[in-house]
Amino acid sequence: MKHINEAVSGVSGYFPKNNPEIGTPFNLKEDASVPLLFTPITIGNVTFKNRIFAAPMCQYSSDNGHATDWHVVHIGSMAVRGIGAICMEATAVVPEGRISPEDAGIWTDSQMEPLKRIVNFAHAHGTKIGVQLAHAGRKASTYATWVQVHGHHHTASKEENGWPDEVFGPSSIAWSENFGEPKELTKDELVKIEDAFLASIRRCQEIGCTLTSSNFIGAHGYLLHSFVSPLSNTRSDEFGGQSLENRLRWPLQLIARPEQENGQWKQFGIEQSKIYAAEMHKLGVDLVHVSTGGNWSGQKVATGPGFQVPFAEEIKKSNPKLFVGTVGLITDAKIAESYLQEGKADVIFLARALLRNPHWPLEAAEQLGVRVKAANQYERTFYRM
Ligand SMILES: Cc1cc2nc3c(=O)[nH]c(=O)nc-3n(C[C@H](O)[C@H](O)[C@H](O)COP(=O)(O)O)c2cc1C
**Angle 342-346-349 from CA coordinates, rounded to 5°:** 110
Residue 40 φ/ψ region, left for φ over 0, alpha for ψ in the -120 to 50 degree band, beta for the rest: beta
How many A from CA of 356 to the centre of ligand 1?
Answer: 13
Give the domains, in start order, of the chain with CATH numbers. 36-382 (3.20.20.70)
Nearest C-alpha to atom 29 of ligand 1 is from which residue? 57
pLDDT at 30: 82
Residue (of 247, 246, 250, 243) closest to 229 by Cα position: 247
The residue whose CB lies within 8 Å of the most ligand 1 atoms, and thus the one to mutate among 148, 288, 352, 357, is 352
Question: Would you call 184 helix, strand, or coil by DSSP?
Answer: strand
**Mean pLDDT calculated for residue range 262-270:** 73
Q: What is the tens place of the pLDDT at every residue in 78-93? A: 999 999 999 999 999 9
Q: What is the pLDDT of residues 156-183, one digit of tens each?
A: 999 999 999 999 999 999 999 888 899 9
Q: Which amino acid is at 364?
A: A
H or E element, residue 350: strand 347-350
pLDDT band of residue 94 (cuts 50, 70, 90) is very high
Give the pLDDT confidence score for residue 172 in this predicted structure: 97
Query: What is the mean predicted confidence (pLDDT) over 254-271?
Result: 74
Indicate the top mutation candidate among 52, 53, 57 to test ligand 1's pocket, ranked by most ligand atoms within 8 A of CB: 57
Q: What b/e sequence results for 106-136 when a residue is b if at least 16 CB atoms lie within 10 Å of its CB, and e otherwise?
A: bbeeebbebbbbbbbbbbbbbbbbbbbbbbb
Q: Could you say which of 14, 60, 143, 222 is catalytic?
A: 222
Ligand 1 binding site (Cβ under 6 Å of any ligand atom):
55-58, 89-90, 132, 217, 219-220, 291, 327-330, 350-353
In tens, the pLDDT along 33-79 reads 999 999 999 999 999 999 999 999 999 999 999 999 999 999 999 99
- Outline where DSSP puts E strands in 111-167: 128-134
Residue 385 has pLDDT above 60, yes or no: no
Per-residue pLDDT for 151 more than 90? no
- Report the pLDDT value the prediction gives residue 383, as an integer from 0 to 100: 62
pLDDT category at 354 given cuts 50, 70, 90 is very high
Residues 6+ apart with CB under 8 A from 223: 97, 135, 136, 137, 138, 168, 169, 170, 193
Active site residue 383: no
Taking only the tens place, the pLDDT of each residue in 360-377 is 999 999 999 999 999 999
pLDDT at 351 over 50: yes
Over residues 195-199, mean pLDDT? 95
The pLDDT tens digits of the residues spanning 285-318 come to 999 999 998 888 888 888 999 999 999 999 999 9
* pLDDT of amino acid 117: 98
